[in-house]
């Protein structure tokens, strides 16, 4: 069982970081187990996954902040500014908590979340060559991420779809399962949530027909957290995804 105090420590830390970059970031989200699991699965060793959406024009200002300064090679920032990569990460230990931020360029972030195109990322440490994922029918798949050494780190890729099929994956999962938006500019997160859900329901219908059997084909199955470690996802969070799916399928049919 997790701890409310551990959850609050992490959310307070994320909020503090976000408060320092409100002039640069369009959106700062706490996802992963801190977002969906909250008090049920957050433990002293739990890290924080924090996607951040930041424009190319503002990346210099963001990287001058104390948390981000010298947290990524200059080559990574340059590749981001030149459009070679769509995101990179900066990780630090703060007050004994590992904080993993993933900085996304807005257009790339939107295109990936809406299943329109894949995304190329950069890490200083070599990521796994393959990634686990789940489809609407809970089928477990693995895909190659085309990891290759580049500029003192590694490039890797995430496709928008897998052979035309939807799979759950960060950061679009943050809109489908409970997460915590600690900062957004001009309702960025709320607007994206509506668009992501709409695109996912459209994809579910495209793959499994206008009236899919939601006991077999559903959004919840596609979420890694649910299909891989269901015991960490609280029942109320599972039910919220089921209800949202059913509600939107009904609205689509009317």
Could you report the per-residue pLDDT of 8-31, keeping only the tens digit for each?
Answer: 999 999 999 999 999 999 999 999
DSSP annotation of 56: G
Rounded CA-CA distance 24/62 in Å is: 6
Question: What values do phi and psi take at 3, rounded to 5?
Answer: -130, 130
Question: Once rounded to an integer, what is the mean pLDDT over residues 197-205?
Answer: 98
pLDDT in tens, 31-81: 998 999 866 678 899 999 999 999 999 999 999 999 999 999 999 999 999
H runs (alpha helix) in the chain: 4-19, 32-36, 59-63, 74-82, 106-113, 173-176, 188-208, 219-222, 224-228, 235-253
The pLDDT value given to residue 229:
85
Find out whether 233 and 242 touch, Cβ atoms under 8 Å.
no
pLDDT in tens, 149-177: 999 999 999 999 999 999 999 999 999 99
The pLDDT value given to residue 254:
78
Structural domains present in the chain? 4-253 (3.30.460.10)
Which pLDDT band holds residue 3 (cuts at 50, 70, 90)? low
Find out whether 239 and 247 touch, Cβ atoms under 8 Å.
no
For the chain, counts of helices (H) and of strands (E): 10, 10
In order of 138, 149, 177, 248, the CA distances from 155 in angstroms are: 28, 6, 28, 36
Half-sphere exposure of 38 (CA within 13 A, CB side): 10
The pLDDT of residue 2 is above 60: no
Which pLDDT band holds residue 232 (cuts at 50, 70, 90)? confident
- Give the DSSP H/E element, type plus range, for residue 90: strand 87-94
Find out whether 86 and 104 touch, Cβ atoms under 8 Å.
yes
Q: Average pLDDT of the chain?
A: 95
The pLDDT of residue 195 is above 90: yes
The pLDDT value given to residue 87:
98
The pLDDT value given to residue 81:
97
Share of the chain above pLDDT 90, in %: 90
pLDDT in tens, 101-141: 999 999 999 999 999 999 999 999 999 999 999 999 999 99
């Amino acid at each position: 069982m997790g701890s409310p105090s551990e959850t609050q420590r992490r959310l307070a830390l994320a909020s503090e970081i976000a408060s320092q970059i409100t002039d640069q970031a369009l959106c700062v989200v706490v996802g992963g187990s801190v977002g969906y699991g909250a008090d049920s699965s957050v433990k002293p060793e739990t890290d924080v996954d924090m996607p951040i959406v930041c424009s190319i024009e503002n990346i210099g200002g963001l990287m001058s902040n104390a948390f981000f300064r010298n947290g990524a090679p200059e080559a990574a920032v340059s590749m981001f500014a030149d459009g070679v990569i769509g995101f990179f990460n900066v990780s630090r230990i703060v007050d004994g908590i590992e904080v993993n931020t993933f900085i996304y360029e807005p257009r790339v972030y939107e295109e990936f979340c809406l299943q329109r195109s894949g995304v190329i990322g950069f890490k200083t440490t070599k990521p796994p060559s393959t990634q686990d994922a789940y489809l609407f029918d809970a089928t477990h798949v693995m895909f190659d991420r085309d990891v290759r050494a580049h500029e003192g780190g590694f490039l890797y890729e995430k496709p928008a779809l897998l052979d035309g099929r939807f799979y759950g994956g960060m950061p679009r999962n943050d809109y489908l399962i409970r997460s915590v938006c600690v900062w957004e500019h001009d309702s960025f997160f709320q607007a994206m949530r509506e668009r992501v859900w709409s695109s996912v329901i459209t994809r579910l219908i495209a793959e499994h027909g206008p009236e899919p059997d939601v006991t077999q084909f559903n959004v919840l199955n596609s979420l890694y957290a649910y299909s891989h470690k269901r015991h960490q996802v609280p029942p109320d969070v599972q039910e919220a995804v089921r209800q949202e799916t059913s509600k939107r399928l009904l609205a689509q049919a009317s």
